[in-house]
Structure 1
Amino acid sequence: MADTKPALVLHLATGGEPLLFALTTEESGKLAGRLTQLVKAGAVESVTTKDDSVVAVNFAHVAAAYIDDLNRKSKVFGLHA
């Protein structure tokens, strides 16, 4: 099986295409359990991407946020095919 390529996927409240940020496995694990609270609180959080860039995300502008695997070929929200 191929290695996973975790990414933070952000759907902005204003619409448009989702934003994707490639993450390390460690960073995705740290962030995954906190996403719900970050969106509910509209918090600003610094996220370190796979290439060691630091991105400040204002979750007050995010409608949906989740961790996904960029290796998956068929993507349907909520389903792992």
Structure 2
Amino acid sequence: MADQKPALVLHLATGGEPLLFALTTEESAKLTGKLAQLVKTGAVETVTTKNDAEVAINFAHVAAAYVDDLNRKTNIFGMHA
């Protein structure tokens, strides 16, 4: 089994391709529990990516957000085959 490559996946309310941010395992664990609240409240959150870049995300513009594994071969929004 390959190592996991967690990423924050953001689907913007305006549409288009999702934004992907590679994360460390620690950062993905921190985000997973609070993503729903961030989207519901439209909060601004700073996320540290795998390469130590800090990205400020305004969740008021996000329609859906989740942490996924980039190693996964197939992915249908919210479902994995």
Report the TM range for the smaller structure's normalisation: over 0.9
Unaligned 5+ segments in structure 1 are none
Could you say which residue in structure 2 is the equivalent of 1:10?
10
Q: Matched residues in 1 for 2:54 and 2:70: separation?
A: 20
Unaligned 5+ segments in structure 2 are none
Q: Which amino acid aligns with 1:27?
A: E
Alignment of 1:1-81 (within 5 A): 1-81=1-81
Going by fraction, where is strand more abundant, 1 or 2?
A: 1
TM-score after normalising by structure 1:
0.97
RMSD over aligned Cα atoms: 0.6
Q: Which runs of 4+ in 1 moved over 3 A?
A: none
Q: Matched residues in 2 for 1:78 and 1:37: separation?
A: 18
Classify the secondary structure of the residue corresponding to 2:65: strand
Q: Matched residues in 2 for 1:3 and 1:66: separation?
A: 19
